[in-house]
Amino acid sequence: MKGKVFTTDDVKKIAQLAQIPLKSDEEQNLARGFNTTMTVVDKLFSIDVSHVEPISQVTGLENVYREDEIDKSRMFTQNQALQNAPRAHKGFFVVDQILDK
Amino acid sequence: MKLNTLTLKQVIEMLRKKEISLSDLYKDIHEAIAVDNAKLNIYLALDPEALKKAQIVRESPLAGVPFGVKDNFLTPGLSTTASSNVLKNFIPPYESTVTKKLKKAGGIVVGKTNMDAWAHGSSTETSDFGPTKNPRNPAHLPGGSSGGSAAAVAGDMCIAALGTETAGSIRQPAAWCGVVGLKPTYGRVSRYGIIAMGSSLDSPGPIGKTVYDTALVLNYIAGRDSSDATTSQYPVLDYTKNLQKGVKGMRIGICYIDHEKLKGSQVAQAILDAGKLYEKHGAIVDTIKLSDQLKPNTILSPDYALSAYTVFQRSEVSSNLARYDGIRYGHGRSSFGDEAKRRIMLGTFTLSKGYADRYYIQAQKVRNLFIQNFHQLYKTYDILISPTSPGYAMKLGATAGNPMFGEIEDMLMEPSSNSGLSGINIPCHHDPVSNLYLGMDIVGDQWQEEKILQAAYVYEQETKWNQWIKKA
């Protein structure tokens, strides 16, 4: 199974999903780059994994719990939380409006 | 004698015996930085208070020694950018567990080292703040993504350094800069407070001038961390204690030298020679053949690891870099560089509805196949050795127009990284004309740092490749 070929329309759609602003001259280059990368990825389908389960972690650890306690040493003060915010107002982060009035 | 050229072991001993002073040590380090940093672009930020902080901890185990730290470890008071414009001028409000532990042991962060932006790459050429040049030969790349840290060690701008590896990012720059780089087992060293790249792979570790130096640093940064649930309870050893145990009776497998990219290469010959050296010292050495399927006493082709890594690394990147929205901190998503955009977008695709089953799940099955392969091999072998990278450090500009540059340079390390194993790069050849190095990768099973360090130590003592270090 293989053969995904990226078009500039695919790139536009993915860019929108990933919230990556693109200039129009970037779309073609990205599509070309993705197609190069997919020739490497497609090799995945030439190895037999029919008897193998997917795995997403390698530690072998299971159910790592901690006490449900507040760790104050890891808490920010309001000032620390806001110290790197590009826009803050009266102790809050400022965000762009996303709903119409 | 310039004190910045000493090893970590030498510096600590000489400071303890009061043969040298911290102020003379820092004078020589800062002089090296003043002479070369503008040319080589190794440090992005320096701590002007470093010497003052060192003098406070002079009685501690690491005695106030200056370390270069990759710019993806959060360091309050010192900017942390992951070499990306998105985090330009970002001052973290909390500290990474590893730098906290290093400082507690008396290590000082003298400065933050350049890297591929977000650790995406193997050249340090994709940094938004310009490439780092290889101090061995400035027409060449240092490798990456921990290229600044490896270059800082090779250029005597620190005594030892910290890097991070997702797949090759400690070992490959160590190979290209001719230094020692230790990638611990995944879960051996905490990821807390390190800017995340591939969360199921990221492994912080030391880069040093000698095998002993990396073992010593590992002693102080390893261990379970309640802030990182993937860290292990597995006991932390004194990794320097049995360093001189030797390789007698050790079963060693030579890997990948029959790969088409390596056949007849100089580095393949160097690894075969290393095998002979180990045999001479009492090890039992075999060559393991490549295979396209799981078969006893063969090793799966790294080509498949590359394919699988490309999928799940991009997927994890798209998820980890989703947090950079320019609202709480940092600049907006238009500030991402080309490589980050490529990786975020491809990962968004491989995790999207309809394609996740096809690509992501398939990649995770292939990942498991590699884990099973290593599981079998480590029943027969104690350690596996192979070239770290197929060749010498490439020239500046080599990454241009190659969206798979990093993966190809790191390919031989991707099977072990994907499987969470421990590995160490040790210089295994030096070209006197270019002054560049080749590296050997010694890979152990999970939690077998002690074994790979023992094997690396034998090789280091018995060969001349690490003799660039000035003898005190």
ipTM of the modeled complex: 0.94
Q: Which of B345, B365, B446 sits opposite A20 (nearest CB)?
A: B345
Q: For the segment B172-219, what is each residue's pLDDT rounded down to a tens digit? A: 999 999 999 999 999 999 999 999 999 999 999 999 999 999 999 999
Q: For the segment B408-461, what is each residue's pLDDT rounded down to a tens digit? A: 788 999 999 999 999 999 999 999 999 999 999 999 999 999 999 999 999 999
In angstroms, the separation between the Cα of residue A31 and the nearest Cα of chain B is 10
E strands, chain A, in order: 88-89, 92-93
Architecture of the domain made up of B3-225+240-462:
Alpha-Beta Complex (3.90)
Question: How many CB atoms are located within 10 Å of the residue B245 CB?
Answer: 15
Q: Is the pLDDT of residue B250 over 60?
A: yes
Give burial (CB, 10 Å; 0-12/13-18/19+) of A39.
Answer: exposed
- Name the 3-class secondary structure at B299: strand
Can you give the pLDDT at residue B470? 55
Name which of B185, B260, B365, B445 to mutate to probe chain A: the one with the most chain A Cβ atoms within 10 A of its Cβ: B365
Q: Is the pLDDT of residue B305 over 70?
A: yes
| Dihedral (CA of B133, B139, B140, B141) sign | positive
- Reported as a pLDDT band with limits 50, 70 and 90, residue B356 is very high
Q: Is the pLDDT of residue B58 over 70?
A: yes
Residue partners of B202: CB distance under 8 A and separation at least 6:
B164, B165, B166, B186, B191, B194, B196
Q: For the segment B90-131, what is each residue's pLDDT rounded down to a tens digit? A: 999 999 999 999 999 999 999 999 999 999 999 999 999 999
How far apart are alpha carbons A60 and B447 in whole angstroms? 12
Can you give the pLDDT at residue B404? 75
Residue partners of A58: CB distance under 8 A and separation at least 6:
B186, B187, B200, B371, B418, B419, B420, B446
Q: Is the pLDDT of residue B29 over 80?
A: yes
Q: For the segment A68-83, what is each residue's pLDDT rounded down to a tens digit? A: 999 888 899 999 999 9
Q: For the segment A46-73, what is each residue's pLDDT rounded down to a tens digit? A: 999 999 999 988 998 989 998 999 988 8
B292 touches chain A (CB under 8 A): yes
Can you give the pLDDT at residue B405? 75
Can you give the pLDDT at residue A2? 57
Q: Which of B93, B365, B368 sits opposite A80 (nearest CB)?
A: B93
Query: What rounded mean pLDDT belongs to chain B?
Result: 96
Place of tokens 């001052």: B91
- Reported as a pLDDT band with limits 50, 70 and 90, residue B349 is very high
How far apart are alpha carbons B78 and B80 in whole angstroms? 6
A31 touches chain B (CB under 8 A): no
Q: Which of B69, B148, B152 is nearest to B108 (CA)?
A: B69
Q: Which residue of chain B comes nearest to A42, CA vs CA?
A: B307
- Reported as a pLDDT band with limits 50, 70 and 90, residue B472 is very low
How far apart are alpha carbons B88 and B384 in whole angstroms? 41
Can you give the pLDDT at residue B468? 66
Give the pLDDT mean for B350-356.
92
Query: What rounded mean pLDDT belongs to chain A?
Result: 91
A43 touches chain B (CB under 8 A): yes
In angstroms, the separation between the Cα of residue B30 and the nearest Cα of chain A is 30
E strands, B230-356, in order: 251-254, 284-287, 289-291, 298-300
Per the CB < 8 Å rule, is A47 touching B93? no
Dihedral (Cα; B78, B84, B89, B92), 10-degree rounding: -50
Q: Which of B90, B359, B420 sits opposite A58 (nearest CB)?
A: B420
In angstroms, the separation between the Cα of residue A78 and the nearest Cα of chain B is 11
The domain locations on chain B are: 3-225+240-462
Q: For the segment B67-82, what is each residue's pLDDT rounded down to a tens digit? A: 999 999 999 999 999 9
Give burial (CB, 10 Å; 0-12/13-18/19+) of B233.
Answer: exposed
Which of chain B's residues have a Cβ under 8 Å away from the Cβ of A47? 292-293, 300, 304, 366, 369
Structure tokens at B60: 């501690």
The domain locations on chain A are: 1-47
Which of chain B's residues have a Cβ under 8 Å away from the Cβ of A1? 358
Helix (H) or strand (E) holding A13: helix A8-18
Helix (H) or strand (E) holding B275: helix B266-280
Can you give the pLDDT at residue A25? 87
